[in-house]
């Protein structure tokens, strides 16, 4: 039998974790009692150096705010992660630290299930690591995109109803409205939405964010981030277990 194998999640102020529950249930079902999954709450990214000293660490997931910053601490990144500019999964094999982006895989699966043929323009709300993975997938799928963020030309102050109406896919990539701050919601012209819109909010906790609820009130089809999260986790498991792929 293999020696103990540690996996985990790095982020800052992680008050909840889908990943820990997901992987611990997986270990239980597959009777992998030599695997463990831990939460590594890092106040600064350079604290990751201490993790790399642990010889039992097989890899880890990466969440806000380190998906971009982690790249400087790795030996290599996959082509996809390099193109996206963000990493959410790290494999440590024979001392080599390699970054991957499984968010793209998870989002692509979500998009394929829910997208309708007329939905070929998208607004991406946010500009962090998750938003970069979303933009990559949308562009690869032939969908034209515009980013809305606090610092972009198109921002939450000047975004209008007409622009929302012209973009039939809306992807909410910011953490606004995540547990425990479930009453928060982005400033967004929800009256620009219609039954022709697909709204994907990457938040999964709560199941129905304020953004999802307000979008549904305006007849948009709404999807939360749970399926994407599940799919990216499965892809991460594949990476950690099939090192030569």
Note down the domain range covering 56: 5-101
Which pLDDT does position 159 carry in this prediction?
Answer: 97
Say yes or no to pLDDT of 39 above 70.
Answer: yes
Q: What is the mean pLDDT of residues 106-115?
A: 97
Which pLDDT does position 36 carry in this prediction?
Answer: 95
Q: Based on the structure, what is the number of domains in the chain?
A: 2
Count of Cβ atoms closer than 10 Å to residue 59 Cβ: 23
Question: Are 34 and 90 contained in the same domain?
Answer: yes
Say yes or no to pLDDT of 1 above 70.
Answer: no
Which pLDDT does position 38 carry in this prediction?
Answer: 94
Long-range pairs for 221-225: beta carbons < 8 A, 24 or more residues apart: 221/114, 221/195, 221/197, 223/110, 223/114, 223/198, 223/199, 224/200, 225/200, 225/201
Cα–Cα distance for residue pair 86/23, rounded to 1 Å = 22
Question: Are 122 and 71 contained in the same domain?
Answer: no
Say yes or no to pLDDT of 245 above 80.
Answer: no
Question: Are 115 and 209 contained in the same domain?
Answer: yes
Question: Are 209 and 110 contained in the same domain?
Answer: yes
Question: Are 91 and 34 contained in the same domain?
Answer: yes
Question: Are 132 and 85 contained in the same domain?
Answer: no
Residue 50 falls inside a structural domain = yes
pLDDT grade for 243, boundaries at 50, 70 and 90: low
Question: Are 57 and 121 contained in the same domain?
Answer: no
Which pLDDT does position 13 carry in this prediction?
Answer: 87
Q: What is the domain-level CATH number for residue 152?
A: 3.40.50.720
pLDDT grade for 46, boundaries at 50, 70 and 90: very high
Say yes or no to pLDDT of 244 above 90.
Answer: no
Question: Are 119 and 92 contained in the same domain?
Answer: no
To the query of whether residue 244 is one of the catalytic residues in this protein, the response is: no
Write the Ramachandran bin of 95: left for phi over 0, alpha for psi from -120 to 50, otherwise beta.
left
Residue 236 falls inside a structural domain = no
pLDDT over 70, % of the chain: 97
Which pLDDT does position 14 carry in this prediction?
Answer: 85
Say yes or no to pLDDT of 135 above 90.
Answer: yes
Which residue is catalytic, options 6, 67, 132, 168?
Answer: 67
Question: Are 150 and 200 contained in the same domain?
Answer: yes
Question: Are 158 and 204 contained in the same domain?
Answer: yes
pLDDT grade for 115, boundaries at 50, 70 and 90: very high
In the predicted model, what is the mean pLDDT of the chain?
94
Q: What is the mean pLDDT of residues 180-201?
A: 97
Say yes or no to pLDDT of 3 above 80.
Answer: no
Q: What is the domain-level CATH number for residue 64?
A: 3.40.50.10860
Say yes or no to pLDDT of 31 above 80.
Answer: yes
- Which of 78, 101, 124 is the C-terminal boundary of a domain? 101
Say yes or no to pLDDT of 144 above 70.
Answer: yes
Say yes or no to pLDDT of 85 above 80.
Answer: yes
- Angle at the Cα of 62 (from 120 to 78), degrees rounded to 5? 65
């Amino acid at each position: 039998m293999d020696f103990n194998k540690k996996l985990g999640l790095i982020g800052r102020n992680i008050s909840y974790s889908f990943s820990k529950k997901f992987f611990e249930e997986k270990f239980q079902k597959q009777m992998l009692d030599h695997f463990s999954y831990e939460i590594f709450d890092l106040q600064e990214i350079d604290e990751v150096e201490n993790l790399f000293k642990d010889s039992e660490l097989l890899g880890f997931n990466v969440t806000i705010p380190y998906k971009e910053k982690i790249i400087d601490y790795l030996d290599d990144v996959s082509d996809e992660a390099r193109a996206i500019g963000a990493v959410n999964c790290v494999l440590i094999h024979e001392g080599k630290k390699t970054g991957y982006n499984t968010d793209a895989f998870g989002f692509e699966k979500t998009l394929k299930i829910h997208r309708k043929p007329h939905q070929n323009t998208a607004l991406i709300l946010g500009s962090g690591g998750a938003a970069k993975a979303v933009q990559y997938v949308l562009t690869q799928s032939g969908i034209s995109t515009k980013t809305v963020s606090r610092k972009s030309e198109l921002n939450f102050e000047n975004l209008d109803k007409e622009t929302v109406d012209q973009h039939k896919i809306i992807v909410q990539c910011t953490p606004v409205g995540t547990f425990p701050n479930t009453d928060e919601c982005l400033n967004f012209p929800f009256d620009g939405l219609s039954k022709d819109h697909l709204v994907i909010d990457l938040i999964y906790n709560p199941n129905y964010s304020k953004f999802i609820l307000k979008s549904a009130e305006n007849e948009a089809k709404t999807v939360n981030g749970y399926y994407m999260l599940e799919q990216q986790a499965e892809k991460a498991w594949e990476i950690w277990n099939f090192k030569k792929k």
